Structure 1
Amino acid sequence: MNRSELGAALRVLRQASGKEAKAVARSAVMSASKLSKIETGKLAPSADDVDRILTAIGVSDGVKAEYMEAARAVATEATAWRLIQRAGLHKAQKQLQAVEARMSLLRLFQPALMPGLLQTPEYMRAILSRHDDLTEDTVRRTISARLERQQVLYDTSKTLRFVITEPVLRWLIVPPLVMAGQMDRMITLSRLPNVDIGVVPLAGPKHDIPNHAFVIRDDRAVSVETVHADVVVTDPKDVALYVAKFDGFTESSLSGDELKGFLEGVRDDLLQQRETG
């Protein structure tokens, strides 16, 4: 089944359900024009798009499983960051919020930047304000949407696991005081019963390379952050590669009381830099 056939099949399912396109699009958290392009084969849907459409239509579990298998077979989707920005960064945060509302397990590896779900508002602003082409209104709306998205951290029906590398904590792309605030934020969040945070220290032998950031959701899909695009991988064999990579980094990461002491040490270093800078 190619993307045109998949889109046509989704249209047939929607029409058979008796639901209007606008209603399905609204429930699937996408525009009516996007749904129309998917149904007419003009736009290749991601596996997540298909999942949301099928859920909105209300198909049986058996039908859903069949179409999700077809969707994963045709998709490794890359969306350029410039297109995400053009559509609205705050809208992208809303879409991620909808995805995270449906998941039960998130595993996130980040070797370069503090994960968005852990960021303080000050860190968000400092990162976003680096981009001269973002207006103050865009920055404000994106921060607001990301803060709203962070409510998933307090949903105990979900498990959220984060592994970052030590350079994330020491790369001063933001002022030392902002980074010190991030240390306190991480310590606080690490106490939540459903949140696990690990840091891979620079010291000690390593058995893998932190190539790039990635997010695994429910063993179903992986989002890979490259310089130019967000790439979504859904083939089960490829997903398994990322799960194994995440597990390897987890084994060599600091957690619990050891993590707390490590973060406090980094925070004290940052505060000292601020005082002597």
Structure 2
Amino acid sequence: MSRSKLSKIETGSVSPSITDVDCILSALGVSDEVKAEYMAAAREAATEVTAWRLVRRLGYSRKQRQVQALESRTALLRLFQPSLIPGLLQTPEYARAVFARKNLPETQLERTIGARLARQAVLYSEGKTFRFIITESVLRWRILPPLAMAGQLDRLISASRLPGVDIGIVALSTPQRDFPGHSFAIKDDRTVTVELVHAETVMTDPRDVSLYVSKFDRFSESAVSGDEMRTLVERIRDELLREQETA
């Protein structure tokens, strides 16, 4: 550990990572019992859990602005999503369908949708990379009527052509060696955000982060991207349009 980093930790200008705590305790030569106690406290501090009921009280639009601030400071964002279209890629109609489930007053709903859509400006920023892995089942999940869902898939196709955006789709027909589990976002190999039914969990322990990086890489290997991804999405979109025509 550098002298400057140690100084910043001592003054409280930066928080020590799990690795930093381990290095400091080892250098101090503390007993195994004391070290175990401090390491347990450090690991607990490296995981932050925020219940959705608290987010609701504070306001979903405020939460979207907080996420926007984090994304603006992130150079590499990797997001795995087996449940729904990622917020950065959602159309207004899709975003409304997502937040409508939360039974918000119309004014709050409009503010929240607007805040989510405002986040998407970051996709056009230079020097940033966004990698999305989405399962095919998400594209077929009927959260919207066929025509509106087809519009959402068109949005995926257009976003996939942006310079800093890579969208991979894990086809249902592709043999797998892992299970999707839940969605997660990795920011710059430093933090992982996981959205559960009851809460959002943010992890900074390097060991936890590496687990999610490995999982993302495994699904990335089996996903299609580029022209192959667009062909798959276009096929599903055309199925929706044919369904709309015959309805």
**TM-score range relative to shorter protein:** 0.7 to 0.9
Contact 2:94 2:143 in 1 (8 A): no
CA shift at 1:175, angstroms? 1.3
Q: Match for 1:276: what amino acid?
A: T
CA shift at 1:146, angstroms? 1.1
Contact 2:49 2:201 in 1 (8 A): yes
Contact 1:72 1:234 in 2 (8 A): no
Indicate the larger mover: 68-77 or 197-206. Answer: 68-77
| Residue of structure 2 in register with 1:85 after alignment | 56
Contact 1:127 1:174 in 2 (8 A): no
Are 1:224 and 2:227 matched, yes or no?
no
Residues 33-182 of structure 1 mapped to structure 2, 5 A cutoff: 63=8, 67-69=15-17, 73=43, 74-132=45-103, 134-182=104-152
Q: Match for 1:94: what amino acid?
A: R
Give the structure, 1 or 2, with the largest relative contact order (CA under 8 Å, sep 6 or more): 2
- 3-state secondary structure, aligned to 1:108: strand
> What runs of 5+ residues in structure 2 fail to find an aligned partner?
22-40
Identical-residue share of aligned pairs (%): 57
Q: Match for 2:231: what amino acid?
A: G
Contact 2:174 2:222 in 1 (8 A): no
> What runs of 5+ residues in structure 1 fail to find an aligned partner?
1-59
Contact 1:222 1:233 in 2 (8 A): yes
- 3-state secondary structure, aligned to 1:212: coil
How many residue pairs get matched? 217
Q: Structure 1-normalised TM-score? A: 0.75
Are 1:186 and 2:152 matched, yes or no?
no
CA shift at 1:61, angstroms? 5.6
Are 1:213 and 2:183 matched, yes or no?
yes
Q: Match for 2:81: what amino acid?
A: Q
Contact 1:162 1:196 in 2 (8 A): yes
Contact 1:75 1:233 in 2 (8 A): yes
Q: Match for 2:222: what amino acid?
A: S
| Residue of structure 1 in register with 2:218 after alignment | 248
Q: Match for 1:84: what amino acid?
A: V
Distance 1:61 1:190, change over 3 A: farther
Contact 2:82 2:135 in 1 (8 A): yes
Indicate the larger mover: 75-84 or 86-95. Answer: 75-84
- 3-state secondary structure, aligned to 1:122: helix
- 3-state secondary structure, aligned to 1:250: helix
- 3-state secondary structure, aligned to 2:163: coil
Q: Structure 2-normalised TM-score? A: 0.84
| Partner residue of 2:235 out of 256, 262, 265 | 265
